[in-house]
Amino acid sequence: MTKLTDFDRRNDMKTSTRKNKRAVAAEYALEKYARIKGVGELPSYDLIDETIIDLLTDLRHFSAAIGVDFDEVLRLSEHHFEQERRSPSPDATEQE
């Protein structure tokens, strides 16, 4: 399990990751989720993996409640992620 306290987000993350608006947006969402769940703010909680798992589990419950096929959403998400990773546009860090 990755401990967020094992690295300094501002200094140790790759520059491309720090500047990637998609990663930054996900970080903000995870921080908000952690606060709502009472875990605390990043990097005050120990296990970022556990918080991501909790968020995905809650999203699975939400999807089931509203009739969304979560497994299909994950499959499509994986496809989008792989496409973006293989062929980033020159302005990939500017995408929202």
Q: What is the pLDDT of residues 23-50, one digit of tens each?
A: 888 888 988 898 888 876 655 456 788 8
Does residue 24 lie within any of the structural domains? yes
Does residue 79 lie within any of the structural domains? yes
Does residue 35 lie within any of the structural domains? yes
Does residue 94 lie within any of the structural domains? no
For 42, the token pair is: 């990043």
The total domain count for the chain is: 1
The pLDDT value given to residue 12: 47
How remote is the C-alpha of 39 from its chain's centroid? 16
Does residue 6 lie within any of the structural domains? no
Range of the domain at 78: 11-86
Does residue 55 lie within any of the structural domains? yes
The rounded distance, in Å, linking the Cα atoms of 53 and 55 is 5
The rounded distance, in Å, linking the Cα atoms of 22 and 67 is 26
Does residue 33 lie within any of the structural domains? yes
Does residue 56 lie within any of the structural domains? yes
